[in-house]
A and B are shown apart, each in its own frame.
Chain A
Amino acid sequence: MAAIAADITLQRQDELLYLLHQDCGSCHGMTLKGGLGPPLLPQVLQDKPVELLSATILFGRPSTPMPPWSFMLNADEATWLAKHLKGQAHD
């Protein structure tokens, strides 16, 4: 975990969080409490493995409005976001 966080610069982490709240937030809510898309709060995601969340971020979910974000995120960044969503510390 520490290694992943170390690979993502602080500036990039800020960008990822901005993307999460502003753009993911257009469907999931800026505070991630849900909207047209489901809520992304830690208690909702606790049973979902990081790998599943990361794959959903990268590849989307067919037949739902969730699009793939691989055009602007790499696997490490998606994993970082998935852990962040689950409330796992990056330290």
Chain B
Amino acid sequence: MIKFLSLIVVAVFSLSLPAAEPRGTGDMGIIIERANGSVLIIETTHNSQLYRVEGLGDLSHASAVFSRDERHAYVFGRDGGLSKIDLLSGTLLKRVMQAGNSIGGAISQDGKIIAVSNYEPGGVKLFDSTSLELLSDIPAHYAESKQSKTVGLVDAPNQHFVFSLFEGNQIWLLDAHNPKQPKIQKFADIGLQPYDALISSNGRFYIAGLFGEEGLALLDLWQLDKGVQRILPHYGKDDPKKPVYKMPHLEGWALTDDYALFPAVGRNDVLVADRRTWQLVKKIPVYGQPVFVMSRPDGRQVWVNFAMPNNDTVQIIDTLKLAVMTTKKIGKGVLHMEFTPRGEAVWLSVRDEDKVQIYGTEDGQLRGELPAHKPSGIFFAARAHQSGL
């Protein structure tokens, strides 16, 4: 009897432990601590840190994608490490060194394949998302004995991936229905030095930014026979390009009902293109060279951060007026921004001040702050359900 009672006591006690309380992960996310090879697991309901996970190697340029159940984060490190993290337990489940130097990755439409984009050796590798076992290796050969760094890797509908070749000036469309023998369709001469790319949230338009010349390269995945079109080809013709102190990123999709917004390379402008004709509508003068141009989920605001020496500031663009409405001094080294899934708040990493700040987007007021060691990328689990992220 005593034994029986004590079993009940143990059972009741363990139920009352907070750790045993089941929870979802839809309000969770990770913050990269770039200098220490660690990530923070956070939640955005109470704005708190839940765990720090260590041992992820060189995360100086790191990004992440999430499993379709939002339980696991896959982190792509600079040193070629691919790490799988359990958000609920805050543990590193597995880590493989898959290349010498890596830039980012993507997860397939069905969640079964992780694709990683590598600089050295240049190419893309596909992995099983459960076991992280290598499925195939796709070196980015573009000429006799030449292999390109790959950039702008995204997932696309119908179990495809798309990426660009920085030195090879190409876009490759990868059909991964059979991930051990993927089929590749190549688009050559897309423009000089694509440096990053994005895909529209409906998975239709893949757009690569060009560093070596003005303009962007657009591939309509619904009409592949049209090939790659050049858009915004002369955006800087009256304004010579200045040196670039931080490569812009194309991520997410800054778009309103009518317009798409992009960072200009080497100029203090955000470019506005008409979404139907892809013609340049306006250049919005901004505080510095834009790095991220990111839309609040509803498209009403676009937040912009800048390359050094202007990386202490962000600006908010009003997308009806197509003009800067607010300029905010945040702190030194604003590297990345992430909106909560429905956009009521935005998290900003402030690298040189070792903290993450949380602002309300309606009133622009500071809502909270978390300490973080040299924070860079912020990635929320809700990305699991957005194509291209």
Interface residues of A (CB under 8 A from B): 22-23, 25-27, 29-31, 33-36, 60, 63, 65, 67-68, 72
The reply to whether A33 and B79 form a contact with Cβ atoms under 8 Å apart is yes
The reply to whether A35 and B308 form a contact with Cβ atoms under 8 Å apart is no
The reply to whether B195 and A36 form a contact with Cβ atoms under 8 Å apart is yes
The reply to whether B35 and A30 form a contact with Cβ atoms under 8 Å apart is yes
Known contacts A30-B34, A30-B35, A72-B309; is A25 also within 8 Å of B60 by CB? yes
Q: Top 9 closest A-B pairs, CB basis?
A: A30-B60, A67-B243, A25-B60, A31-B58, A26-B246, A68-B243, A67-B245, A67-B244, A34-B101
Interface residues of B (CB under 8 A from A): 34-35, 58, 60-61, 78-79, 100-101, 103, 119-120, 149, 151, 166, 193, 195, 211-212, 243-247, 308-309, 333, 351-352, 374
The reply to whether B308 and A29 form a contact with Cβ atoms under 8 Å apart is no
Q: In whole angstroms, what is the CA distance A34 to B193 when docked?
A: 17
- B333's nearest neighbour on chain A, judged by CB, is A22
Q: In whole angstroms, what is the CA distance A35 to B246 when docked?
A: 13
Distance in Å from the Cβ of B78 to the closest Cβ of chain A? 6
Q: In whole angstroms, what is the CA distance A52 to B305 when docked?
A: 33
Q: In whole angstroms, what is the CA distance A67 to B309 when docked?
A: 13
The reply to whether B101 and A35 form a contact with Cβ atoms under 8 Å apart is yes
Q: What 18 additional pairs, Cβ within 8 angstroms, besides A22-B374, A35-B61?
A: A22-B333, A23-B245, A29-B61, A30-B34, A30-B61, A30-B78, A31-B58, A31-B60, A33-B58, A34-B119, A35-B101, A35-B103, A36-B119, A65-B193, A65-B211, A65-B244, A65-B247, A67-B245
- A67's nearest neighbour on chain B, judged by CB, is B243
Distance in Å from the Cβ of A56 to the closest Cβ of chain B? 13
Chain B residues with Cβ under 8 A from A25's Cβ?
60
Distance in Å from the Cβ of A37 to the closest Cβ of chain B? 10
Known contacts A23-B245, A67-B243, A67-B245; is A29 also within 8 Å of B58 by CB? yes
The reply to whether B245 and A36 form a contact with Cβ atoms under 8 Å apart is no
Q: In whole angstroms, what is the CA distance A25 to B308 when docked?
A: 13
Distance in Å from the Cβ of B269 to the closest Cβ of chain A? 17
Q: In whole angstroms, what is the CA distance A66 to B202 when docked?
A: 35
Q: In whole angstroms, what is the CA distance A27 to B211 when docked?
A: 14
Known contacts A33-B79, A35-B119, A36-B119; is A26 also within 8 Å of B244 by CB? no
- A27's nearest neighbour on chain B, judged by CB, is B247
- A32's nearest neighbour on chain B, judged by CB, is B60
Q: In whole angstroms, what is the CA distance A34 to B352 when docked?
A: 22
Chain A residues with Cβ under 8 A from B247's Cβ?
26-27, 36, 65
Chain B residues with Cβ under 8 A from A60's Cβ?
243
The reply to whether B101 and A29 form a contact with Cβ atoms under 8 Å apart is yes
Most chain A Cβ neighbours within 10 Å, of B166, B243, B309 = B243
Chain A residues with Cβ under 8 A from B151's Cβ?
36
Q: In whole angstroms, what is the CA distance A31 to B247 when docked?
A: 18
Chain B residues with Cβ under 8 A from A23's Cβ?
245-246, 308
Q: In whole angstroms, what is the CA distance A37 to B60 when docked?
A: 14
Distance in Å from the Cβ of A91 to the closest Cβ of chain B? 26
Q: In whole angstroms, what is the CA distance A65 to B103 when docked?
A: 17
Q: In whole angstroms, what is the CA distance A63 to B212 when docked?
A: 7
Q: In whole angstroms, what is the CA distance A30 to B333 when docked?
A: 15
- B212's nearest neighbour on chain A, judged by CB, is A63
The reply to whether A36 and B351 form a contact with Cβ atoms under 8 Å apart is no
Q: In whole angstroms, what is the CA distance A68 to B245 when docked?
A: 9
The reply to whether B195 and A22 form a contact with Cβ atoms under 8 Å apart is no
